[in-house]
Amino acid sequence: MKLSARNQIKGKVKQLSHGPVSTEVIIELAPGIEITSIITTASAREMAITQGQEAYAIIKASHVMLGVRE
């Protein structure tokens, strides 16, 4: 797999929550560190994503916004 995105973070699929349109995929990057992705359910099925499978969180964004409480 070659991608132009430089932010590729390897982990394991911890949990899948399938809905009729979208699927929430939680990837555990390290113990206690998780990232969540929302993809289409059709894509999740096509990719045959399963719990425990190695997966990559791939982040491509020109801006990262930051917020703090006042």
CB 21 within 8 A of CB 65: no
Of 29, 34, 36, 32, give the one whose Cα is nearest residue 10. Answer: 29
**pLDDT at residue number 47:** 95
**pLDDT at residue number 7:** 84
**pLDDT at residue number 55:** 96
Domain range 7-59, its CATH number among 3.20.20.210, 2.40.50.100, 3.40.50.1820, 3.40.50.300: 2.40.50.100
Residues β-bridged to residue 15: 26
Residue 59: pLDDT band with limits 50, 70, 90: confident
What mean pLDDT comes out for the span 5-33? 94
| Annotated domain spans of the chain | 7-59
pTM (whole model) above 0.85: no
Of 66, 70, 55, 41, give the one whose Cα is nearest residue 1. Answer: 55
Other C-beta atoms lying within 10 Å of the C-beta of residue 45: 11
Q: Return the structure tokens found at 48.
A: 């045959």
Comparison of pLDDT for 18 and 6, the residue scoring more: 18
